[in-house]
Amino acid sequence: MQTSLLKKNHLLITIAVMIAAGASVATAQIKKGKSRAVQTSQWMRGVIKPHCDGLKKGLESPPADDKAWEQLAVHAAVLNESSYLLMDDGRCPDGVWANAATKTLRNGSSELLAAIERKDASEAKAAFGRTTAACKECHEKHKEK
């Protein structure tokens, strides 16, 4: 009786430890990948936000010259590449994240890049709106408020 109760307790503790470990892996996955150094928040702050802001500002009025269009293309291309990086290193936890990165962000930013290459300011604005829908889509589930 004693031993079986002890065994039962031991089993319960083992299960609890396994659940706790699993939970911390799941959080680590969102905040950071498996082996690479960069934290998700650092990528957001250092790469995604500045390029997103650059696009927002650059599209407020139609770009003045080729140099301005080229700069917009840099911003759009970096956001597009980020749609791949966000999926790397085991960082992606689920289908919401995957859809936001590989569909909304990737398609939006490639349409944005195409519009920039055609120097179509109004389509670029529309595609920028579709690109930033990805931010909300992913943050709603995965960014702590």
Give the binding site for ligand HEC (CB under 6 A).
30-31, 40-41, 44-45, 48-49, 52, 86, 97, 100-101, 105, 132, 134-135, 138-139, 142-144
Cα dist from 76 to 26, 114, 125, 128, whole Å: 30, 9, 12, 9
Coarse DSSP helix, strand, coil percentages of the chain, rounded to the nearest 5 percent: 80, 0, 20
Q: Least distance (Å) from ligand HEC to the CB of residue 16?
A: 25
Cβ nearer to ligand HEC, comparing 113 with 132: 132
Q: How far is the CB of 126 from ligand HEC (least distance, A)?
A: 15
Nearer to ligand HEC, 18 or 129 (CB): 129
64, 111 contact by CB (below 8 A): no
